[in-house]
Structure 1
């Protein structure tokens, strides 16, 4: 009876390993892989859209803060430029005086 079971099992294994069944299994594996790829692509697309929506909602506040900071910086730059123009002649005169009015001092003996 053991030999008969062994022969039956071998016959089933031979049937399972026929080229036709292997081709069917290969086709099913390819179909499953393609289906999984489609699901992954759909999931990725959904998550990217979700991220873009989140990003759009949360960058509005940053944009406003950035605009305010730029306005403040522009105001400070204009203030510094006005101050520079106001004192420009005095600064140039002081620099020229320091360069042209040389007062040599002998080195001290240490």
Structure 2
């Protein structure tokens, strides 16, 4: 009976080793599939990215003329406004300086409105 018992145990141990080997192979297979899926996803992402970049460059090229024209119009408008501001500055400079000097030099001494007379 002991020979049958040890042979049964030996068979169980071999079955356990075989099961462990199968589990290990399935883990390896799963890991490999995950790596393959990741690399495939990365390739798809890169292809999509390249296609969208090409699409954007085509869009940008088709609208480049409009952008440069708009920039030229904005630059021209800015120059006109700067010239207007400079002219206004030059024409009003003396008057503003005179008003400032008048305010500083011509002081009317008077009591503050919040000051109350004492003893009255």
TM range (shorter): 0.5 to 0.7
Relative to the length of structure 1, the TM-score reads 0.61
Q: Which residue of 2 aligns with 1:64?
A: 65
Matches of 1:72 and 1:79 in 2, distance apart?
Answer: 11
Change (3 A) 1:78 1:21: same
**Corresponding residue SS for 2:27:** helix
Give the secondary-structure state (helix, strand or coil) at the position aligned to 1:77: helix
Aligned to 1:40: 41
Match of 2:95 in 1: 94
- Note the residue ranges of structure 1 that are not aligned, 5 or more in a row: 1-10, 103-110
Structure 2 CA distance for partners of 1:36 and 1:95, relative to 1, 3 Å: same
**For residue 20 of structure 2, what is the aligned residue in structure 1?**
19
CA distance in 2 between counterparts of 1:30 and 1:88 reads: 75
User: Structure 2 vs 1, CA of residues 94 and 29 (structure 1 numbering), >3 Å: closer, same or farther?
Assistant: same
SS of 1:18's equivalent in the other structure is helix
Residue 77 of structure 1 aligns with which residue? 78
Match of 1:105 in 2: none
Q: Could you report, residue by residue, the CA deviation over 1:19-59 in whole angstroms, capped at 9, with x for unpaired residues?
A: 12112212221222222122111111111111111111112
RMSD: 3.1
What count of residue pairs does the alignment treat as equivalent? 94
Q: Which has the larger radius of gyration?
A: 2
TM-score of the superposition, structure 2-length normalised?
0.57
Unpaired runs of 5+ residues, structure 2, are 1-11, 104-120
